[in-house]
Amino acid sequence: MAATAATAGRLLRLRAAGAEGHWRRLRGAGLPRGFLQPASADGDAAQRRQVAHFTFQPDPEPLEYGQTQKMNLFQAVTSALDNSLAKDPTAVIFGEDVAFGGVFRCTVGLRDKYGKDRVFNTPLCEQGIVGFGIGIAVTGATAIAEIQFADYIFPAFDQIVNEAAKYRYRSGDLFNCGSLTIRSPWGCVGHGALYHSQSPEAFFAHCPGIKVVIPRSPFQAKGLLLSCIEDKNPCIFFEPKILYRAAVEQVPIEPYNIPLSQAEVIQEGSDVTLVAWGTQVHVIREVASMAQEKLGVSCEVIDLRTIIPWDVDTVCKSVIKTGRLLVSHEAPLTGGFASEISSTVQEECFLNLEAPISRVCGYDTPFPHIFEPFYIPDKWKCYDALRKMINY
């Protein structure tokens, strides 16, 4: 039984090795000669699968939290979980396949270190996973639930929206499930298609009582995840899966917190405000460089970090300064979270605006497979929207 599980585990790990790993296998690494003709060296561009649409930009090594170590995003998550289980004896981690380390390796080593009663698999049932997590949290213990892909969070929607979010309010603060955190891989990954690419934050933004947090990098991920776990409200932590291996930077070994509901201005500017979260932050960072280089336009780049409750003040303060706002996310345009930001900013900063607020988002379609390069709000679409705003 253990042997089969281990083999299955190895297969799963291979499958989940991430965008570049998969790509390497498809390009013929390891196949016997003569079995398939390898793609020609200078390759028809149409035949070769695409490179990533962004370049991860690591932040400078943080100096104020002690010794750091090179970590990618999934290792930063493991580190945060390790710190949590070490500090808090009530903390447990559960979900599908977390015991062997998880399909994205976020929980590797934790079961061996902390025991089978603290890191364990559940049956394949998201409504059960979240419901179960709420129950643990109601008793005051710390529950860290994993939903294998954000695309599969919907069976748990009732438990999250009708139960977790409302627990404290409806009981008059007699009961709460604040010590619940739900983590889930999120966002496009190059080949995920309809059911491995979704960004469902907008569904949850409409739900008072929970917090929704999305990091852009390993350092951000660890600090924000620790804050979510320690926060006294139920939190959903979406992890950009395309960054799990691609994003590498120096991350403190010891625990540290990054505050929730605080956006970060990662680059100051004077002409346009660019807002995004998760992977898309790296896209708009590049757009900011392009704008400076090609148009002489100075961009202020903001990583929103917490979707709800969101940091209205930081965004408005920036727009009052620049007069122009561009918000970008992979999720579809209609009803996406950019709508909320846009609506609030036009209420608060109407007279400061020099141009209509621009939203550069996914199209109003399910997330396609082969058409992903056309679907995503890449740097060219963002650049073009920015250019139009400047010339308005």
Partner 1 sequence: MAVAAAAARVWGSSRGLGRVGLLLLRQPGARGLARSHPQRQQQHFSSLDDKPQFPGASAEFIDRLEFIQPNVISGIPIYRVMDRQGQIINPSEDPHLPQEKVLKFYKTMTLLNTMDRILYESQRQGRISFYMTNYGEEGTHVGSAAALDNTDLVFGQYREAGVLMYRNYPLELFMAQCYGNVSDLGKGRQMPVHYGCRERHFVTISSPLATQIPQAAVGAAYAAKRANANRVVICYFGEGAASEGDAHAGFNFAATLECPIIFFCRNNGYAISTPTSEQYRGDGIAARGPGYGILSIRVDGNDVFAVYNATKEARRRAVAENQPFLIEAMTYRIGHHSTSDDSSAYRSVDEVNYWDKQDHPISRLRHYLQSCGWWGDEQEKAWRKQSRKKVMEAFEQAERKLKPSPNLLFSDVYQEMPTQLRKQQESLARHLQTYGEHYPLDHFEK
Q: Which residues bind partner 1 (CB under 8 A)?
A: 1, 4, 90, 92, 116-118, 120, 122-123, 125, 127-128, 130-141, 143, 155, 158-159, 162-163, 166-176, 178, 208-209, 211, 232-233, 261, 309, 312-313
Q: Which is nearer to partner 1, 9 or 368 (CB)?
A: 9
Element (H, E) at 265: strand 264-267
Q: CA 299, CA 341: separation in Å to the nearest integer?
A: 18
**Which residue in 96, 126, 163, 249 is the catalytic one?**
126
Tell me if 239 sits within 8 A of 183, measured CB to CB: yes
Minimum Å gap between C-beta 159 and partner 1 is 6
Q: Which is nearer to partner 1, 156 or 290 (CB)?
A: 156
What token pair was written down for 53? Answer: 């649409």
**Which residue in 53, 196, 282, 329 is the catalytic one?**
196
Minimum Å gap between C-beta 170 and partner 1 is 5
Q: Which is nearer to partner 1, 248 or 312 (CB)?
A: 312
Tell me if 360 sits within 8 A of 377, measured CB to CB: yes
Minimum Å gap between C-beta 310 and partner 1 is 8
Q: CA 104, CA 223: separation in Å to the nearest integer?
A: 19
Task: Pinpoint the alpha helices (H) of the chain.
Answer: 2-15, 19-26, 73-87, 110-114, 126-138, 157-158, 167-170, 201-205, 218-230, 243-246, 280-290, 312-322, 337-348, 372-375, 379-390
> Residue 196 catalytic?
yes
Minimum Å gap between C-beta 233 and partner 1 is 5
Tally Cβ neighbours within 10 Å of residue 92. Answer: 21
Q: Which is nearer to partner 1, 30 or 123 (CB)?
A: 123
Q: Which residues are catalytic?
A: 126, 196
